């Protein structure tokens, strides 16, 4: 059975999957804000990424440094197979739970 994800963890993993090889903190924040309209704090994104990494759902690697970043390296994250399974399970659960319900949103 895949690990259970929180809502924000699911959003972060989905953002990483969408971003592909360009998945770093600020890009994840931007992706979530643009797609959901939620004003997300960058600290919340990094705290969640660290938690997901501890759970083995993402891995990270340092990128190149740049003057624009004050000589600091970007940290790129990618979703592991365990992370993909957890997202698929979360989506499946949501689909099953909402099946046949009239939510009155149309």
Does an H or E element contain 65, and which?
strand 58-65
Q: Around Cβ 37, how many Cβ atoms within 10 Å?
A: 7
Answer yes or no whether residue 38 interacts with other proteins by CB under 8 A: yes
Q: HSE of 19 in the Cβ direction (CA atoms, 13 Å)?
A: 24
Q: Which DSSP letter does residue 4 get?
A: P
Candidate ranges 13-21, 38-46, 86-94, 98-106; the one touching other proteins (CB under 8 A) = 38-46
Answer yes or no whether residue 14 interacts with other proteins by CB under 8 A: no
What are phi and psi for residue 96, nearest 5 degrees?
-65, -40
Answer yes or no whether residue 75 interacts with other proteins by CB under 8 A: yes
Answer yes or no whether residue 73 interacts with other proteins by CB under 8 A: yes
Q: How many residues form the binding site for other proteins (CB under 8 A)?
A: 31
- Which residues of this protein are in contact with other proteins, per CB under 8 A? 6-9, 11, 24-26, 38-48, 50-51, 62, 65-66, 68-70, 72-75
């Amino acid at each position: 059975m895949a690990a259970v994800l929180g809502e924000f963890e699911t959003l972060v993993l989905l953002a990483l999957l969408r971003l592909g090889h360009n998945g770093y903190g600020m890009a994840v924040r931007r992706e979530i804000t643009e797609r959901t309209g939620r004003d997300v704090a960058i600290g919340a994104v990094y705290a969640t990424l660290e938690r997901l990494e501890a759970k083995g759902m993402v891995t990270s690697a340092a990128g190149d440094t740049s003057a624009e970043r004050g000589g600091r390296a970007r940290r790129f994250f990618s979703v592991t197979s365990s992370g993909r399974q957890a997202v698929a399970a979360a989506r499946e659960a949501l689909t099953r739970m909402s099946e046949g319900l009239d939510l009155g949103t149309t």
